[in-house]
Amino acid sequence: MLRGQQVCKRFGGIMASNNIDFQIGRKEIVALIGPNGAGKTTLFNLVSGMFPVTSGKILFNDQEITGLKPHNIQRMGISRTFQLVRPFMEMTALENVMVGLMFGRARGIGVAEARLKAPKFLEMVGMSDRMDKKAKELTFAERKTVELALAIATEPSLILLDEFIAGMNPTEALWATNLMKMIRDDLGISLFWVEHVMTAVMDISDRIVVLNYGQKIAEGTPSEIAHNQSVIDAYLGTESGREVVDAAQS
């Protein structure tokens, strides 16, 4: 579904993305991991059209999307959430989801219709009882979930999820991973997912792509990644790296 070919992004002297090949299939959860500054968010910014690539190609359903504007890429079916959670704080959860409906693939629907359709998406993510709360009144985990509901409301076939679990407590994290599995299994939406919480990554990813200094250093199933020597050398010496090993062994 999504394919990147030799994708490069240069910021001055830094190659934030250095010749990266990747692909995401239908109904797949693919985690994108790596140390801080490895280039994970940058890759999402390239896929979503936020920044132009320096070189290389990105294709979605065999159509080249490199060079397209973010709103056009979104209308083709790629939605995203942000590392720094930023729903519309003065708007209610319901109104946030209405934005997704009015500006997503089904755009052209009016406010009244969006208001009728929005509750279904909050129900999907288990937030029916928070519908009329302003985003600023919600907990961190709830805000992240509203952003996800907004993303789902745009009717994507792929969501780029930038750190969904980080910052949640263990109960919320368990709930969130179940929600992600539901999105893949029941809604049929693929997830390309940046995450530092390795227990969650090891638990629900179909595949894992590992970046370090802008380069892809490994790719494979959770157990292949936990035993990959270059990943261990580059990454598993760190705190979140030790979590990978612990999670793989448990």
217 binds ligand ATP (CB under 6 A): no
Cβ neighbour number for residue 129 with a 10 Å cutoff: 10
Question: % helix / strand / coil in the chain, to the nearest 5?
Answer: 40, 25, 35
- Name the segment binding Mg ion (CB under 5 A); options: 3-11, 83-91, 173-181, 195-203: 83-91
The CA radius of gyration of the chain, in Å to the nearest whole number, is 18
- Name the segment binding ligand ATP (CB under 6 A); options: 30-38, 61-69, 167-175, 178-186: 30-38
Q: Are strands 190-194 and 158-162 parallel, antiparallel or unpaired?
A: parallel
14 binds ligand ATP (CB under 6 A): yes
Coil, strand, or helix at residue 122?
helix
37 binds, among ligand ATP, Mg ion, none (CB under 5 to 8 A by kind): ligand ATP
41 binds ligand ATP (CB under 6 A): yes
For ligand ATP, which residue of 4, 31, 42, 101 counts as binding (CB under 6 A)? 42
User: What does the per-residue mask of binding to Mg ion show for 40-69, with x meaning CB under 5 A?
Assistant: xx----------------------------
Residue 148 to residue 12: CA distance in whole angstroms: 33
83 binds ligand ATP (CB under 6 A): yes
81 binds ligand ATP (CB under 6 A): no
118 binds ligand ATP (CB under 6 A): no
Residue 86 to residue 125: CA distance in whole angstroms: 18
Residue 37: both structure tokens together: 């500054």
Return the ∠ at Cα 32 (arms to 10 and 241), rounded to 5°: 105
For ligand ATP, which residue of 10, 19, 27, 37 counts as binding (CB under 6 A)? 37
Binding stretches for Mg ion (CB under 5 A): 40-41, 83
